[in-house]
């Protein structure tokens, strides 16, 4: 990866929401201010310039999943593609997980910032002070190395401590409902995308997909249950959803005796369609070959 510059273990940098963004943005904002003129648009505390049609991407990462080496490689490539290819200038990015200390009725992003403009013409369109392409490229690289990449390094670290894992429950429905309520996301005016990275196996006292017989019926049946009324997401009209489904070994047996891969896939497809999503794409993240279990998926 040409843009990836390793600078040792940066997990200790990840302390607060958006890493405060302030420590990193001291230099970035100062650069903007030095280049700015009176009357020019200024970035806010998380680096976003005013834009009523601001694009937004929310990435939800399920920390209860044991991603294998093959899936981890795929997720690193997906993460880089999101940052370098999918995000537009001034697009807001929020990263949300189900890590032990992150589950709550109101989700709090671990990372929250706006992608630096990639073209001086974008600054002109937004009414901001001009900057050179070289300066903008450096800002984008700094944000990647100091905010974005350390988050994924920590999340995908197989030796991460218990605070960065979730072994008790997997409240996917509750977290997506909370994401749908995020200010400016569900009712935002610009392009909006939701990226879900999970095995799709809800595990709460009210619904234990795959583990309990009857816990995962067809979505239209599940939607009639009182529990779903409590976790129903807000309207996702206009939101493009990509669900990266981490495939697990052993559907139909053992701990996953009461589901199949197709049942999980079809449930989440109908779930997002019923929520009004503009489009839904479910991408299969296959596991590598496990010779101890006799093969891979």
User: Per-residue pLDDT for the chain (297 aa), expressed as one digit of tens each?
Assistant: 444 444 444 444 444 444 445 445 444 554 554 444 568 999 999 999 999 889 999 999 998 888 999 999 999 999 999 999 999 999 999 999 987 655 667 788 999 999 999 899 999 999 999 999 999 999 999 999 999 999 999 889 877 655 555 556 889 999 999 999 998 887 767 899 999 999 999 999 999 999 999 999 999 999 999 999 999 999 999 999 999 999 999 999 999 999 999 999 999 999 999 999 999 999 999 987 543 444 333
* CA triple 86-88-90, angle to 5 deg: 140
Q: At a CB cut-off of 8 Å and minimum separation 6, what does 118 contact?
A: 88, 89, 136, 137, 140
C-alpha to C-alpha distance for 54 and 74, rounded to whole angstroms? 28
Q: Tokens 């630096």 correspond to what residue?
A: 116
**Helices 133-143/22-35 angle, 10° precision:** 170
This prediction's pTM: 0.84
C-alpha to C-alpha distance for 203 and 290, rounded to whole angstroms? 25
C-alpha to C-alpha distance for 274 and 221, rounded to whole angstroms? 12
Q: In this structure, are residues 134 and 43 in contact, taking their beta carbons and an 8 Å threshold?
A: no
Q: At a CB cut-off of 8 Å and minimum separation 6, what does 99 contact?
A: 63, 110, 155, 163, 164, 165, 166
DSSP sequence for 179-241? HHTSTTTTT-SS-EEEEEEE----EETTEETBTSTTSS--HHHHTTSHHHHHHPPPP-BTEEE
SS3 (DSSP) at 114: strand
Name the DSSP class of 78: H
The residues pairing with 197 across neighbouring beta strands, listed in sequence order, are 61, 244
* CB-facing half-sphere around the CA of 222: CA atoms within 13 A: 24
User: What token pair was written down for 125?
Assistant: 């369109």
């Amino acid at each position: 990866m040409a843009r990836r510059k390793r600078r040792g273990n940066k997990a200790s940098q990840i302390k607060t929401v958006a890493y405060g963004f302030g420590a990193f943005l001291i230099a970035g904002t100062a650069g903007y201010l030095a280049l700015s003129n009176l009357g020019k648009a200024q970035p806010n505390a998380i680096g976003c310039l005013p834009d009523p049609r601001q694009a937004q991407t929310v990435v939800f990462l399920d920390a209860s999943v044991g991603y294998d080496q093959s899936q981890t490689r795929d997720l690193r490539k997906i993460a880089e593609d999101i940052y370098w290819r999918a995000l537009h200038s001034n697009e807001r990015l929020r990263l949300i997980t189900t890590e032990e200390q992150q589950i709550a009725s109101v989700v709090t992003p671990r990372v929250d910032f706006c992608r630096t403009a990639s073209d001086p013409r974008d600054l002109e369109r937004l009414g901001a002070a001009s900057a050179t392409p070289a300066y903008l490229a450096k800002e984008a690289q700094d944000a990647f190395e100091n905010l974005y990449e350390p988050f994924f390094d920590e999340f995908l670290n197989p030796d991460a401590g218990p605070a960065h894992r979730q072994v008790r429950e997997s409240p996917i429905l509750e977290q997506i409902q909370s994401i749908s309520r995020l200010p400016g996301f569900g009712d935002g005016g610009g392009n909006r995308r939701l990226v879900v990275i999970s095995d799709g196996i809800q595990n709460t006292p009210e619904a234990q997909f795959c583990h309990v017989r009857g816990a995962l019926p067809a979505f239209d049946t599940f939607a009639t249950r009182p529990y779903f009324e409590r976790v129903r997401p807000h309207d996702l009209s206009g939101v493009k959803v990509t669900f990266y489904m981490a495939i697990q070994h052993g559907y139909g047996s053992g701990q996953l005796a009461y589901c199949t891969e197709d049942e999980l896939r079809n449930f989440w497809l109908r779930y997002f369609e019923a929520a009004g999503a503009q489009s839904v794409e479910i991408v299969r993240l296959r596991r590598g070959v496990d010779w101890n279990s006799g093969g891979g998926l």
